[in-house]
Chains A and B, each alone.
Chain A
């Protein structure tokens, strides 16, 4: 299948006083026309930097795209001039950011901001631009669109602002919409509205969507395929149903296990992934998830390649985590960690007991 966007071995690094931070370190994936792709990962895993790299919005310095290519409709976005890039941004690729208040101009009316896009990219003028703006605002569900043209961003609620952002991103019917955590700043009830809107409107416009989020639930409901990122790498990629039914990377498995689910019986204790994500100034040699992984062995000192583990399903792990032998090893390690926790529990108990003693003697 021909892809709309093809990212090959993208490396975006940031220079800091302490050295280079490898925020995106060899990321490759593609998006087909009209496809809805989810990109999930924790903060600092490089998902937003990937999006900014596609739009060539990484600030330089400190950021720099050191390697790789981003093919969009056949041309490498990293090679074209800034003025041609400006024609891609907003026209062929639309972007929706996390915080709509910071991404709208506070001293321009909503109407003017959308009209600007139409004038720049489509050459619409005057009444025609105005009519199209009203039409767009109606499409994203803003009531009394004509009146609202003259409002400023601060006069809108968070959800309404995000609708305006969506209207702007869609103004030129782009082939690709990048939505970077579009609902993270919103309440659940409003989140449901906005996701529904992005879903229906992108289907109508036949736009591809790259949905960046940390919320596995959002990905499950919205996307066709999912890319899981960890510490600057893609570690697993599969069709959405397949990924949730049959995760093949220990990190994906751990993530799914650590979220409390409303539709399941409540567990007494959650199963967290121990430890914290690595420091990208000095990423661990080999597999970057190894320090937190339950399946880890000496083999993991070598970086695992992304390999095929099923149809359209790739994962970067040396092991088949469905294999009983591997599972036994993970089980043993989990048991060891539980014992550690119990020990901690016991020490804590003695600390508590001694404090209680002190209190009684003090009284």
Chain B
């Protein structure tokens, strides 16, 4: 895993700024796959996070979006050290979380708290609300007895619940109220950073807005830093200042909220944006969608080159071979990992989201997405080693990235046709499966 690592480290050096409460560089989390019962042997790794670098400024919210299996939850769990990362570093106020153990780790956990998705599973049904919220106070020795009770009652009030709920049990509350209780518990130890893993996904639409407003108010009042993990792009846009789009264990795009929504620089971000249904039939019925074909590839065998190329509507030869660097595309902190981000940038989000689309370069983009859909079956065959005829629409761009001699592969003429390339790939796959 040498190339991808270097690419993202190069990126991280430029990301860092002053007063970053969190600085993650090159974080790697691989889960071993084992077989055998007594003599366990490692047969492979699930590449949950594969070299991720970002930083979060104090008092702001970083939104992490991605599909299930993209590694966004694993990042959150690494940060509170529910997992011990395989590699990389996570600096929290200058202290490396990966190295902490025992008492020091517990001390840090007071400052980084977590809110989980399902408020029905994350509250102990046998604990009264008061003792659940007060537990962090006791664990960290912050308050005891009457003092703790007073603090918990304050916290209940702070999250918009009645302080008399202290002695009630979780089953007496609705989902929204439970999530408030979970939030109260998370802020009870005066943390600086809160990792919210899909905090509103399990809630109904009308309740969601209440909880999001509450989280925003608490952030303002307590100066909290949020890491907001969600699959819902409209929610993330609402809460986050900066957004990281993850795909298969890597960050594909990282930028300020507005620039990521106004001018996405990665085809995956575009596809995500165009897939979000908008509650307006006028917009919906005329909208052009980029429908990605297929599913997320297995995180055990990550595709070579750009990991998105198997589903990418604009993938070219180079994408199958060279992993794109995660770099600043605008000079203003808009990071993306794509060889063709300029081509992508020609199709802005307003075009993706509105019904009226001016004719532009992006039409060729949409067309290739359409053709891609038509050839979905062919693409699958290609992946599984059945060789189709060379598709005509695969034309290398004018500025041929293949010709600048960056390729480490020995002979370039071997790569000029798709057939020989897929032969090569299928050959590799055969070797691997043996």
Contact = CB atoms under 8 A, between A and B. Distances in A.
Contacts of B217: 345, 348
Contact of B206 (A159, A190, A255): A255
B190 to A, nearest CB: 7
B209 A240 contact: no
A220 B277 contact: yes
Interface stretch (B84-92, B330-338, B339-347, B374-382): B374-382
Contact of A193 (B210, B276, B292, B353): B292
Interface stretch (B1-9, B22-30, B36-44, B283-291): B283-291
B209 A271 contact: yes
B281 A260 contact: no
Contacts of A276: 174, 176-177, 207
B417 interface: no
B295 to A, nearest CB: 4
A359 B384 CA distance: 62
A195 B377 CA distance: 19
Interface in A261-279: 261-263, 266-267, 269-274, 276-277
Interface string B156-180: 0110100000000000001011000
B389 interface: no
Interface stretch (A6-14, A89-97, A349-357): A349-357
A347 interface: yes
A274 B272 contact: no
Given A143-B381, A214-B204, A274-B210, A220 B278 contact: yes
A245 B283 CA distance: 12
Interface majority SS (helix, strand, loop, mixed), chain B: helix
B279 A216 contact: yes
Contact of A262 (B176, B273, B285, B293): B273
B67 interface: yes
B205 interface: yes
Nearest to B380: A143
A262 B275 CA distance: 11
A344 B163 CA distance: 13
Given A157-B295, A352-B222, A262 B233 contact: yes
A214 B221 CA distance: 32
Given A190-B295, A348-B221, A352-B221, A262 B281 contact: no
Interface residues of B, number: 63
B315 to A, nearest CB: 15
A218 interface: yes
Contact of A214 (B205, B274, B275, B377): B205
A189 B311 CA distance: 11
A259 interface: yes
Interface stretch (B124-132, B234-242, B321-329): B234-242
Contacts of A190: 67, 295
A261 B207 contact: no
Contacts of B261: 262
Interface in A140-196: 141, 143-144, 157-160, 187-193, 195-196
Nearest to B283: A263
Interface residues of A, number: 58
A221 B277 contact: yes
A218 B380 contact: no
A355 B417 CA distance: 68
Nearest to B223: A352
Contact of B157 (A43, A191, A192, A347): A347
Top 4 closest A-B pairs, CB basis? A217-B277, A272-B209, A221-B284, A216-B279
20 contacts: A144-B380, A188-B275, A192-B275, A193-B292, A216-B279, A217-B277, A217-B284, A221-B281, A244-B280, A244-B281, A255-B205, A262-B233, A262-B349, A269-B213, A270-B212, A272-B210, A272-B213, A276-B177, A277-B204, A349-B221
Interface of A: 42-43, 141, 143-144, 157-160, 187-193, 195-196, 214-221, 240-241, 244-245, 254-256, 258-263, 266-267, 269-274, 276-277, 344-345, 347-349, 351-352, 355, 359
Interface of B: 67-68, 151, 154, 157-158, 160, 174, 176-177, 190, 204-210, 212-213, 216-217, 221-222, 231, 233-235, 237-238, 257-258, 261, 271-285, 287, 289, 291-293, 295-296, 349, 353-354, 376-377, 380-381, 384
